[in-house]
Amino acid sequence: MKLIIYHLYPDLLDLYGDRGNVLALAARCRWRGIDVDIRKVSLGDPIDFAEANIIVLGGGSDREQSILVDDLSSRGTELKDAIEDGLVLLTICGGYQLLGQYYQTGEGKKIPGLGILDLYTVAGNKRLIGNVIIDIESGLKKNISWNYSSNVDEDSSQRLNTLVGFENHSGKTYLGSKLKPLGKVLRGYGNNGEDNREGVRYKNVFGTYLHGPLLPKNPHMADLLIELALERSGNVSKLLPLGDNIEVVAHKAIIERFGSNR
Ligand code: GLN
């Protein structure tokens, strides 16, 4: 069994070490005997969408977004078709914004997005920065198999129903009425600091403002992406449990430390 992970623009979109998410996916696969091929793709490099199992698109500043948007748009049709076909995508902050209709910068310049998701982003006049805790959207909770640790399957009190992370953006993102968020904000700002929503989920596409080590901090989210990718490629989707006690303790420590500000 093998998964091909495409890491898009690692040289441009790697704010706060978003590439750690690719490493976490690869490690969690390899620990289970699943081979992983990581392909780094930057401006002009080819992508074989038919072969791709997971695509990761990190975050970056307005400047980097402007540099790569034309290159990304040239792949827009193929990417859209693959998404409709169930390709698994993790997009973070600047990468998440680029899937939408547009991102309007603080200077009023509109960077066109790919228009794949019905959302748009407008820069506000203050940066939305800090630790974030979200309650995972209820429909999505059912998809998470909670097998991140060998001994917690039966113990619902051990289940992680939250995602924790760190955000830093000025863009405020608004979802179209048919789109579901990734979760409800318990702490932090999320999509726009106004509607208590964080991120987006559409088919197997996930967008979020949670930067940096999202997947190391949220092993259940990492496993969800792996399971969806395996399922789509017709492989066994039940993952072997891993001993994630340290990850679970770390996740809970963040919740205890920052709690809720709602
Ligand atoms: N440029 C975008 C913003 O500030 C994205 C920033 C990021 O990826 N952290 O909203």
Whether residue 3 contacts residue 34, with contact meaning beta carbons closer than 8 Å, is answered with yes
C-alpha closest to that of 39 among 31, 27, 48: 48
126 DSSP assignment: E
Pocket test for ligand 1, best of 170, 208, 214 (most atoms within 8 A of CB): 170
- What separation in Å is there between the alpha carbon of 225 and the centre of ligand 1? 23
253 DSSP assignment: H
Whether residue 135 is predicted with pLDDT greater than 80 in this model: the reply is yes
pTM for the model = 0.94
Instruction: Give the model confidence (pLDDT) of 89-121 as tens digits.
Output: 999 999 999 999 999 999 999 999 999 999 999
- What separation in Å is there between the alpha carbon of 47 and the centre of ligand 1? 25
CATH assignment, 2-258: 3.40.50.880
Alpha-carbon dihedral 233, 238, 244, 247, rounded to 10 degrees: 50
So which residues are the catalytic ones? 93, 211
| Residue 89 exposed, middle or buried by CB count within 10 Å (0-12, 13-18, 19+) | buried
CB of 90 sitting under 6 A from ligand 1:
no
Instruction: Give the model confidence (pLDDT) of 28-87 as tens digits.
Output: 999 999 999 999 999 999 999 999 999 999 999 999 999 999 999 999 999 999 999 999
Whether residue 209 contacts residue 218, with contact meaning beta carbons closer than 8 Å, is answered with no
Instruction: Give the model confidence (pLDDT) of 16-26 as tens digits.
Output: 888 999 999 99
Query: Would you state the pLDDT for residue 158?
Result: 60
